[in-house]
Amino acid sequence: MDLEGDASSVRLLHFTIFVLLTISSLPILLPGSQLTDAEIYRTFKEFGPTPRIVRLLSEPVGLKQYKRALDTAISEITPDKLRKIVSDAWSLSQDGSGISNKLGLISRMERDDVSSAHVVAPITRSVKSGLAHQLRNCLHESTD
């Protein structure tokens, strides 16, 4: 089963991860991972609790590559690229670069209403902060 393509499986995974992270007395069982619960929590807090990150928790090299790719994606953001990513997300199309799924999550304004409008938001506070910093740099460069 492709968890990234199956929305109901992704929601179930997010709920399961949320429950595991909020109930501190339960251990998080990730086969092959040498990370502590605290390290897993920090990783989710930085990158978001997505199926891709769950898979990368047992691949330290892959997680480092993902971090570099995320840092690169943020450093290359311009206001025009951000508009395109948000526009693509609103139309539920993919930009082909994989950037948008590193930076943001698409959800519905009303979770229980499938016809509700889409909302695009930074995937984590860390990503939001990085995007804000990069956009400030772009604004500063354009005023010089």
pLDDT at 88 over 60: yes
In 3-state terms, what secondary structure has residue 33?
Answer: coil
DSSP 140: H
Give me the residue spans of the domains in the chain.
7-58, 78-143
Neighbours of 67 (CB within 10 A): 15
pLDDT in tens, 19-33: 655 544 444 556 556
Mean pLDDT along residues 102-120: 81
pTM score: 0.64
78-85: long-range contacts at Cβ-Cβ below 8 A with a sequence spacing of 24 or more? 78/138, 79/135, 79/138, 82/131, 82/135, 85/120
Which backbone phi and psi does 91 adopt, to 5 degrees?
-90, 0
